[in-house]
Amino acid sequence: MKIVFSSNTKIKRICLYFLFSFLFLEFFLSCVSKNNLEQQMSEAQKYYAEGEFSKSFEIYKKIADRESKIEAYQMLCHMYGQGLGIEKDPERAVFYFNKIKDAAIQNSAEAQHILGIMYENGDGTEKNIEEALFWHLKAAESGNAESQSNIASIYYTGALGTRNFAEALKWYEEAAKNGDLNSQYMAASIYLDGNSGLQNYEEAVKWNMQAADRGYAPAQYELGRMYFEGEGIERDYKSAFSWYEKAAQQDYAAAQNELGIMYLNGTGTEQDYKEALKLFQKSAGVNPRAQNNLGWMYENGLGTDKDFKEAEKWYVKAAEAGIAEAQYNLGNLYYFGDGMEKNHKEAFRLYKMAAQRGNAYAMYRTGAMYENGEGIMQDYEIAVNFYLDAAENGYAAAQNKLGDIYLKGEIAPQDYEESFKWFSESAKQGNAAAQNSLGIMYMNGYGTVRDYQAAEKCFQEALDNNYSEARANMELLKRKTGKR
């Protein structure tokens, strides 16, 4: 049976066809326009980052005139205000600032967020944290995760005068629930912070894991650190290695450095000096700790040939960045003259600098240079003070040195009780010389009650640590006690 359409039906079909075609074309053009706009914004941002401000300004101006885009208004306000790519014009800066404010008043969440940032940074207006918070709260009510994160940051940093960890956490978690990766990481940081009063390792792991699983490198690094140190989670070097590796693959410099250390020491993986060297080299461009580690590799010929000049170069970079360990290592190069002339004055300067930054080894070396008058005028009192600093920071060699100083009474008043105390502290850490000296103290009753049994134990511990001088003392003790 043949169906015959009426002319009205045909017309309707034609109209519907053209209507759908028009709607599809409009949708297609809208997508093209949106993609083109995003491409233009990206191009303007690129030019700005590269310092080509005139090109950047031209693109932002075209976007603002044609699309009324809030972000373009923000950049024009900033560029007119600073005179970037265009002659400085405060009136035009205010013009664009007011356009953003008008949109914010009309409840544009994007405008409210950007206005909050501008008040926060003093960009295009006077810096006003209270006003910034007001507009961020407005945007946050609409679910703007970036403003929620900004509110959290204001409370976290104490921009209003005092830090408020509870409010910061509340807003970081709001933003985190909306998928903001940095907020997930920051919520974890607050839960990890013992000073926040909100420490909760389970929550810290949860938020870091969410961000890390979505590829956020800082969270991956933090999980690696937690597994490595066993903080709030069972220590697991293989898991630490895995998370560090994920972050390192994203060129996260701190993770590259830590991964290099794991390869260097063979922790959680097979020891591989060459791989460690590669990772330190990658990280060293921006990471002073990696610069120090790279210097160490060159100094000791690990994964490469020994190269003292190259070691010096990297130690200098790290030392200038304030890394105490690098200052100490560089001091050693100059003190011992490895691959260069000895320079005790420069060694002293570096040791003292590292000592002031809390490096116990450097405290000890500074003390030794004051004692011996190397690179500085001899001063026993200052020497003892530096030895004491090192000893109180747990350095066993310094503790043993103090024990010896107070036993002999040559550069400080003789004090058997102090001598006994410091030999004891050093011996606990397995220092063989201190174990031997502590045995002498017990054997003779210096600074303590005479105790032959304790003396024997100390001499034996020293012998077990291959300290040959303890053998004669053990024999003397046997003669004293009649033992054979």
Q: For residue range 281-337, what is the model confidence (pLDDT) as tens digits?
A: 999 999 999 999 999 999 999 999 999 999 999 999 999 999 999 999 999 999 999
pLDDT of residue 23: 52
Q: What is the pLDDT of residues 80-115, one digit of tens each?
A: 999 999 999 989 989 999 999 999 899 999 999 999
pLDDT of residue 412: 97
Q: How many CB atoms lie within 10 A of CB 4?
A: 5
pLDDT of residue 30: 43
For helices 7-49 and 53-67, give the axis angle rounded to 10 degrees. Answer: 150
pLDDT of residue 480: 87
Please state, in angstroms and rounded to a whole number, the distance separating the CA atoms of residues 257 and 244.
Answer: 9
Name the CA radius of gyration of the chain, rounded.
Answer: 34
Percent of the chain whose pLDDT exceeds 70? 92
Output the CATH code of domain 41-142: 1.25.40.10
Q: How many CB atoms lie within 10 A of CB 332?
A: 18
Neighbouring C-alpha atoms within 13 Å toward the C-beta of 184: 24
Fold topology of 395-484:
1.25.40
pTM above 0.75, yes or no: yes
Q: How buried is residue 14: exposed, middle or buried, by Cβ count under 10 Å (0-12/13-18/19+)? A: exposed
Domain made up of 284-393: CATH architecture? Alpha Horseshoe (1.25)
Please state, in angstroms and rounded to a whole number, the distance separating the CA atoms of residues 41 and 61.
Answer: 11
pLDDT of residue 29: 40
Please state, in angstroms and rounded to a whole number, the distance separating the CA atoms of residues 173 and 188.
Answer: 9
Structural domain boundaries of the chain?
A: 41-142, 284-393, 395-484
pLDDT of residue 41: 84
Would you say the CATH fold of 284-393 matches that of 41-142? yes
Residue segments in the chain with a per-residue pLDDT below the cut of 70: 1-35, 484
